[in-house]
Structure 1
Amino acid sequence: MAEIVKRQTTVRVKTRRPVGMVATHPLQPSPAVAELERRERQLAALYELWRSAAHTDLERLLKNVTERAVAALDAHTGSVFLRERGTDLLHMVSSVGLPNDVSDSVTLLVGERIAGRVAETRQPILVNRDPHTHPLLAEGDIAKRPEVESALCAPLLGVTNEALGVLCVSRHAPATQYTESDLRVFSLFAAQAGAVIAQRQTIDDLTQAAKDQAKLEREMERSRALAAMGQFAATIAHELRNPLGSIKGAAQFLLQDSKDETVRDFLNIVVEEVNGLGKLTTDLLEFARPTPPALYEHNLVDIVRSEVSFLREELARLGCSQVQEFYKIDEAPVQVDAAQLGRALRNLLINAAQAMASVGNTRIDSRITLTLEAREASWLLRVEDNGPGLPSDVIEHLWEPFFTTKARGTGLGLAQVRKTIEAQGGTVRAENHAAGGACFEICLPHAQKTEDQ
């Protein structure tokens, strides 16, 4: 039987790779897939930006815009400039990848540098290695950033097409340069960002307007209540003044003839109490019918020094061991009624001394500190003590008439202080400072210079 040997043959089939197909590593996506993934990230960034706009404040929104722009455009750095309303100033308000000292201090004029030119023209810009060739840029627009390989800059436009600000991203060498396609995507992102920023600003404006309206209504209600209260107080004070004068006169007459020490002690108590009631009626009348301030130019330093000198012995009697004065200027011209302002300052100084004495503060370092310094358009006077400070539940009622924590206080002192300061164009506020004790701040505007000055 013949042995039949079967031979197996291997057939090799050659296949041709389609034209244009590139062999790739099985773990790495092709350039086309990578590009699709990048576009998907960019679209996702647009969606997330719009979705989060209504649920965050402006500061966080600007940070989101910057971070998402950097991620979507594969950038190394990003920044947002916002235009200050009513001016040509652009302030960097958010950044990614830049040093803090840079992002906190950059301010440009509209038309200055690349960001300023974009705000001026409202046109996006793609800048690669040689930015001098760009038709919209001049020599002075190019910042010295040798590490930047490529950059995109686009305007943030509001609903009326006004430039709210500018969004910028950049890549550092040796990264690949941006393309016109990237610029179109970036412009779309900036347009969306401008819309959500405008929306957030509108919401903030409406919220602030509502708060201002509510505050105005509260102030009007307060004014009506104070007017009614003042009228009532004035009537009471007027009715009390004449009888009190008669009582005091009778007590003083009896004191002249009385030899009995016990009787004299009681009569002195009567006179002392009548004097206290007399001060109360005076305070009531001053609060209800304040005298309009006679405004003249004075040196605030002189007014403060005069009151401190006048009260130094009284403050020491109340237990205040030191009164420190720090004047950072020699001349502080203000347009005020010096007598009324002096009484207001006197009230604050005595209150500070009484507050330290009320808790048995007999330490050798119990002190009041006065500091006067210049602000841009005003003078700031601080009156500080190292006493117990102001309880949190007291601060909110501190300026209300007839509110007091003193056993025998009228509650009109600080209300009158506020009324006096505001009548002279100033403001007054109270707070506790970190070192302990209370701090009262009086802010008065600079005296307006005349043409002769």
Structure 2
Amino acid sequence: MEEMQSFHPNHLVRTKYENILENLDSGIILFDSVGVLAFVNVQMAKLLGVPRKSLIGSTLTQLLRHPQITRFKRKKIIRIYRETIFHRKRFHELLDECGRSWLITMTYGDQMEGDFLISVKDVSDFKQIEQTAYQNDKLAMLGKISASIAHEIRNPLTSIRGFIQLLRPHLMRLGKDEYARIILTEIDRANDIIYEFLNSSKPSAPQTTIIPVASLLKEVVLLTESEALMKNCEIILQHSEQIPSFISVDVKQIKQVILNLIKNALDAIDGKNDENNNGIIEIGLEQNEKQVNILISDNGAGMDQNTLNHLFNPFFTTKEGGTGLGLSVSYRIIKNHGGSIAVDSQVGIGTQFVITLPIIEMSNT
């Protein structure tokens, strides 16, 4: 009787802890000292896509041979095993087939009495926050560098321009006024290039105007239709006939962003080298009570996960001769408008950008 009383509380404690582990948002799996799977929680079973009952008692080899384990997951399990067991790494990060980030933690040693505890946690949101902070830091640094470079180059150019203007009467008497004109023109062109670079790396504060989104998109399509036709590509504008969405934006800046995305889509289609299918760029609108989504989709070459991870970084480009500033500037412009920009892409299938901007309620303006 005393044995039953002493066992009962321990059993309750064990059941309580198992219930906690089973309902964690992290995936938990435990292999005992001889390599047999002794415990797996609900979340881990969902991640593996296998019923829990069929996992308990399996070895790692049997787990890999399970008919419901996909080839992709099998490769990831082998990689985790190699990194954590062979290379003795307690922490390992990986990307799944949907592009989400996962942190794998391995716990073993004396404190585990020979057992191996593996936990898997979705850290995509944390990585996104980290990437956004890193992105903002780089853009701020880029703006400071650009301003410094522009200042250092503009000063000597101003001096050169002044001296050329002083020398121009002498050059005219020598019949060389054309030289002076060319020098002044080239100096002005250099100043324009510096001005554009400074504006692109550090966009000015938006000068906002309230406009309907649909009219902005129609104007952008008209500006790009001829180039699209030259590249055997069709631009399709799709939006439902609902209450018009009004946004308060710097029209010039937002137009710059959309034109840049369409230009990228044209390049992606041009680089696909698929003579059998015509290029298609679809521009659509979705809205709810608070925001509107501008969707720009193409059936171009698409991008791999590594490219997507660096896409909005300043100076990152996959184009020969590209500056790598277009998307980083677009990111900054949309952020300055209180919106967001996201991208989804698959190699060989295409890419979709989604620009989200807040809606203005006309009745309140």
What is the aligned partner in structure 2 of residue 384 from structure 1?
Answer: 297
Change (3 A) 1:291 1:395: same
Change (3 A) 1:363 1:253: farther
1:20-67 residue CA offsets vs partner (Å, 9 max, x unmatched): xxxxxxxxxxxxxxxxxxxx99x9788435324135434999x97xxx
If the length of structure 2 is used for normalisation, what is the TM-score?
A: 0.56
CA RMSD, aligned part only? 4.5
CA distance in 2, matches of 1:358, 1:253: 43
CA distance in 1, matches of 2:136, 2:205: 17
Tell whether the 8 Å contact from 2:201 to 2:329 is kept in structure 1 after alignment. no
Tell whether the 8 Å contact from 1:379 to 1:444 is kept in structure 2 after alignment. yes
Tell whether the 8 Å contact from 1:321 to 1:366 is kept in structure 2 after alignment. yes
Change (3 A) 1:353 1:219: closer
Change (3 A) 1:313 1:210: closer
Change (3 A) 1:329 1:421: farther
Unaligned runs of 5+ in 1: 1-39, 65-206, 258-269
Change (3 A) 1:253 1:383: farther
Match for 2:20 among 34, 50, 53? 53
What is the aligned partner in structure 2 of residue 231 from structure 1?
Answer: 144
In the alignment, does 2:323 pair up with 1:356? no
Match for 1:446 among 353, 359, 362? 359
Change (3 A) 1:402 1:54: same
Change (3 A) 1:356 1:281: farther
SS at match of 2:256: helix
What is the aligned partner in structure 1 of residue 236 from structure 2?
Answer: 324
What is the aligned partner in structure 2 of residue 415 from structure 1?
Answer: 328
Within-5 A mapping of 1:51-450: 51-54=18-21, 56-58=23-25, 219-220=132-133, 222-240=135-153, 243=157, 253=178, 281-317=194-230, 319-330=231-242, 331-361=244-274, 365-432=278-345, 436-450=349-363
1:233-261 residue CA offsets vs partner (Å, 9 max, x unmatched): 223244556759979xxxx957x99xxxx
CA distance in 1, matches of 2:213, 2:281: 18
Unaligned runs of 5+ in 2: 1-6, 29-40, 43-120, 165-176
SS at match of 1:396: helix
If the length of structure 1 is used for normalisation, what is the TM-score?
A: 0.46
Matched letter for residue 18 of structure 2: R
CA drift at 1:406: 1.1
What is the aligned partner in structure 1 of residue 50 from structure 2?
Answer: none
CA drift at 1:361: 4.5
CA drift at 1:379: 1.0
Tell whether the 8 Å contact from 2:246 to 2:362 is kept in structure 1 after alignment. no
Q: Using the TM superposition, name which of 359-368 and 226-235 deviates more.
A: 359-368
| Identity fraction in percent | 22
SS at match of 2:329: helix
What is the aligned partner in structure 1 of residue 36 from structure 2?
Answer: none
CA distance in 2, matches of 1:349, 1:281: 25
In the alignment of these two chains, the number of paired residues is: 253
SS at match of 2:317: coil
CA drift at 1:365: 1.4
Change (3 A) 1:223 1:440: closer
CA distance in 2, matches of 1:358, 1:50: 56
